[in-house]
Structure 1
Amino acid sequence: MKISQITFTRFLAAMAIVISHFNKDLFLYKIDYISNIFLKANVGVSYFFILSGFIMIVAYHKKDRIGYFDYYKNRFARIYPLYVVGLLLYLITRYSNFSIDKGLLYLFGLQSWIPGEAMILNFPGWSISVEFLFYLIFPWLYNHFYSKGNKSIWVVTIIIWIITQLFCTLYADSSYYEGPHTESHELLYYFPLMHINEFLVGNLAGLFFVKNSKQKNYDIPVVIIFTAVLLFLIFIPLFYHNGLMALLFIPLIIFISRNNGVLTRLFSLKPMEYLGEASYAIYITHIPVLYILREILNEYNLSIDIVFCIYIVVLIVTSILFYQFIEKPLRDYLKRIISR
């Protein structure tokens, strides 16, 4: 089952993250309320994690059992080539950060498991380290719980989600949390077990969707929920990073997926869907592309706003090229050679 309209939302989330990582002197950060949205736009990673869990169920829900080898092969071929490209591009301008031990840590996707190591090389890759955990456990969850209709996983997931929210909120306000750029910060924000709840609730949302996938016009609910997301980010100072926004993201994902209104027709246009397909390339290469572009543009003394406009165009174009000529061909090639 393919849900074309949900694919474009990945592009929107990726671009929000891109802006959140850009220079805070950008004009968007000088606009009241709008600045609050982009200062917290890294919550887009939470959306990715929840959507990942949702899509996994949608993609596999008709199977009685998932073969471990085929699943891991497909996931590896899908995510790993561009992950390595992002690392290599990053090292073009930040090679002084490289060492053999750190290189191996990142190549194996283990950086987020060690507080203090997650943000050294191409730091958006911390989330791919978390995704590796999701991919590792999903076949087991599917074969032993989801495919058998075992309802205990619903209880376990809700408990894990509640415990995660309580822990993160209390820890962030405690004396143990030392603030940004510390190991305690990386434990709170990037440690994979802090995000397992997002993947699990995404799985449950997927199970609900495949049993209740009748379509109708949900344009108004989608707009209302999206507006609620923005209002929460603007006005309510909560810890959103580790799954709290599932309360809004899950209904948003389900309504978009079941919608057959104007928004779906818009989001399902081929150019929109294609941008969504290229969103992984946007996300995983946006920091090295920014660093490389800054090196090139430094001598021109351009304003930060002009640099931003150039950056967005270059990022989208290069990401499309990465998707078309690296991600897709290598994905297909790896699937073939691993199957031999």
Structure 2
Amino acid sequence: MSPTRTAATIFNVDFLRGITALAVLVWHYQHFFYPSAGVSLAVTDRPLQPFYSSLRWLYEYGANGVQFFWVLSGFVFFHAYRSRDNISLKEFFINRFSRLYPLHLMTLLLVALLQTVSQYAVGHQQIYPFNDFYHFLLNIFLASHWGFQKGYSFNAPIWSVSVEIITYIFFFAYLKTAGIRLCSALVWLAVIYVAFQGPDTNSFAQCTILFALGGLVHELQFWINSRTPKWVSPLGAITLTTSLLVYLYIKGAWNPTVVVFALFPSLIWLAASAETIGFSSGRIGELVGNTTYASYLIHVPIQVAFMTVADLFLIDRMDIAKTPAFFVFYIAAVFLLSHFIFKHVELPSKRRIQAWLNPALRNRAIQEPLIQPLKS
């Protein structure tokens, strides 16, 4: 049985999450070409990957999908908690913990097992090099990217969630002290920007600033929709997005600042605005969005398992990874497995944990909009 969704669910935002997850998958496809842990694919060799000419932007800049998720997370949290400023710290913590931790723990243990098998069977580990007990403890506490690490470890994509946890603390403090409104969102963004002295200080600074930016986008859209005809917001979003795309096309180069701090927010604004006038991805957006977190955490275990088996049987996995057929099979397998995991692992574990930690949330918890970040 699928969870009850609120009337405020934004399917187009769900769809954007899924598309961004695909971008991360394409970016991480290069893992198949790592000869051993920590030995990456040279930039000059990236064209070896299948469909490179068509997917070049994803192969080159798919890593910016993490920044997109952070902006999206801010939009989603403002959407989900705008009328819930009376939420307790306990309930907020349970919602986050039950949403993020079960699958993280499962995939962490799976990768730890697979890396041990790889070390024993082929004499080296795969993709990420720092898979010792110290980094395992960091991962257990979702602290894998808090500055205590020597590098990427175990199921490394969880690093973006590790960083975002700190942002949740700032958000909850903002929610309880100021309340979600346009003016407070603008002030919060300004204060955070000044406090962190710009977006490039570190991952924590960038995450929190982008999260606040996503929240501001939500409040701007809410403000426009409540005071103007419903077509004004989509028209503004289309105009801004088109202008930014034309600018980037004329420049002929990927400008991270423009893309992350302008194009990403405008795309989210466009997706949400389109929903208000009836252009909705509907069921497709829901299906795609539901696979996001699972696809984010399951693709590295799949890669480690495949690479270990290939190395064990002396199969040239790079030759296999170069083929378009394998690329299509891999992407399809990740999303199909992610759909299964969402239905049979994520949702059941989330409900059990919520019921265990706070029985009063048993009926309310599943009403929470599922446009959650990756963590969205």
- TM-score (normalizing by structure 1): 0.80
Could you tell me which of 241, 244, 247 is aligned with 1:225?
Answer: 241
Task: Determine if contact 1:293/1:311 at 8 Å carries over to the other structure.
Answer: no
What does the per-residue CA deviation read over 1:114-168, in whole Å, with 9 as the maximum and x for residues that have no partner?
1644511211010010121122222211111124x58465245136447868563
| Alpha-carbon offset, residue 10 of structure 1 | 0.3
CA gap 1:231/1:275 in 2 versus in 1, 3 angstroms: farther
User: Which residue type is aligned with residue 89 of structure 2?
Assistant: Y
Distance 1:156 1:303 in 2: 46
Alignment of 1:176-191 (within 5 A): 188=202, 191=203
Could you tell me which of 358, 362, 369 is aligned with 1:339?
Answer: 358
CA gap 1:219/1:321 in 2 versus in 1, 3 angstroms: farther
Instruction: Out of 330-339 and 53-62, give the one that drifted further.
Output: 53-62
User: Which residue type is aligned with residue 290 of structure 1?
Assistant: Q
2:285 corresponds in structure 1 to 272
1:35 corresponds in structure 2 to 56
Distance 1:224 1:43 in 2: 20
Could you tell me which of 26, 50, 53 is aligned with 2:49?
Answer: 26
What does the per-residue CA deviation read over 1:205-259, in whole Å, with 9 as the maximum and x for residues that have no partner?
222233333644948955972794597499335444xx96121222221221121
Identity rate, percent: 21
Alignment of 1:69-80 (within 5 A): 69-80=90-101
| Alpha-carbon offset, residue 75 of structure 1 | 0.9
Distance 2:22 2:243 in 1: 17
Distance 2:209 2:135 in 1: 28
Distance 1:72 1:103 in 2: 23
User: Which residue type is aligned with residue 289 of structure 2?
Assistant: G
Instruction: Find the residue that maps to 1:27 and give its secondary structure.
Output: coil
Alignment of 1:96-245 (within 5 A): 97-114=130-147, 116-147=149-180, 149=181, 151=183, 154-158=186-190, 160-161=192-193, 168=200, 188=202, 191-213=203-225, 215-216=230-231, 218=234, 221-222=237-238, 225=241, 228=244, 232=248, 235-240=252-257, 245=260
1:177 corresponds in structure 2 to none
Structure 1 residue 53 corresponds to structure 2 residue 68: no
CA gap 1:230/1:125 in 2 versus in 1, 3 angstroms: farther
What does the per-residue CA deviation read over 1:55-74, in whole Å, with 9 as the maximum and x for residues that have no partner?
11111112342211101101
Task: Determine if contact 2:107/2:301 at 8 Å carries over to the other structure.
Answer: yes
Could you tell me which of 332, 335, 346 is aligned with 1:327?
Answer: 346
User: Which residue type is aligned with residue 58 of structure 1?
Assistant: H
CA gap 1:211/1:220 in 2 versus in 1, 3 angstroms: closer
Task: Determine if contact 1:219/1:262 at 8 Å carries over to the other structure.
Answer: no
Distance 1:131 1:156 in 2: 17
2:104 corresponds in structure 1 to 83
Root-mean-square deviation (Å)? 3.2
Task: Determine if contact 1:118/1:126 at 8 Å carries over to the other structure.
Answer: no
| Alpha-carbon offset, residue 113 of structure 1 | 1.1
CA gap 1:27/1:219 in 2 versus in 1, 3 angstroms: farther
Structure 1 residue 287 corresponds to structure 2 residue 300: yes
Structure 1 residue 15 corresponds to structure 2 residue 22: yes
Task: Determine if contact 2:18/2:288 at 8 Å carries over to the other structure.
Answer: yes
User: Which residue type is aligned with residue 342 of structure 2?
Assistant: Y
User: Which residue type is aligned with residue 225 of structure 1?
Assistant: T
Distance 1:247 1:286 in 2: 29
Task: Determine if contact 2:15/2:284 at 8 Å carries over to the other structure.
Answer: no
Instruction: Out of 204-213 and 47-56, give the one that drifted further.
Output: 204-213
Task: Determine if contact 1:45/1:127 at 8 Å carries over to the other structure.
Answer: yes
Instruction: Find the residue that maps to 1:19 and give its secondary structure.
Output: helix
User: Which residue type is aligned with residue 50 of structure 2?
Assistant: F
2:263 corresponds in structure 1 to 248
Distance 1:146 1:229 in 2: 34
Structure 1 residue 304 corresponds to structure 2 residue 329: no
Distance 1:263 1:142 in 2: 30
The gaps in structure 1 that reach 5 residues or longer are: 172-187
Instruction: Find the residue that maps to 1:62 and give its secondary structure.
Output: coil
Q: Which of the pair has more CA radius of gyration? A: 2
Task: Determine if contact 2:185/2:215 at 8 Å carries over to the other structure.
Answer: no
User: Which residue type is aligned with residue 285 of structure 1?
Assistant: I
Instruction: Out of 76-85 and 292-301, give the one that drifted further.
Output: 292-301
User: Which residue type is aligned with residue 318 of structure 1?
Assistant: L
What does the per-residue CA deviation read over 1:289-335, in whole Å, with 9 as the maximum and x for residues that have no partner?
12223334565653522322221121111111111111000000000
The gaps in structure 2 that reach 5 residues or longer are: 1-7, 31-45, 120-129, 360-376
User: Which residue type is aligned with residue 235 of structure 1?
Assistant: G
2:363 corresponds in structure 1 to none
Distance 2:236 2:187 in 1: 31
CA gap 1:28/1:261 in 2 versus in 1, 3 angstroms: farther
CA gap 1:230/1:278 in 2 versus in 1, 3 angstroms: farther
| Alpha-carbon offset, residue 198 of structure 1 | 0.7
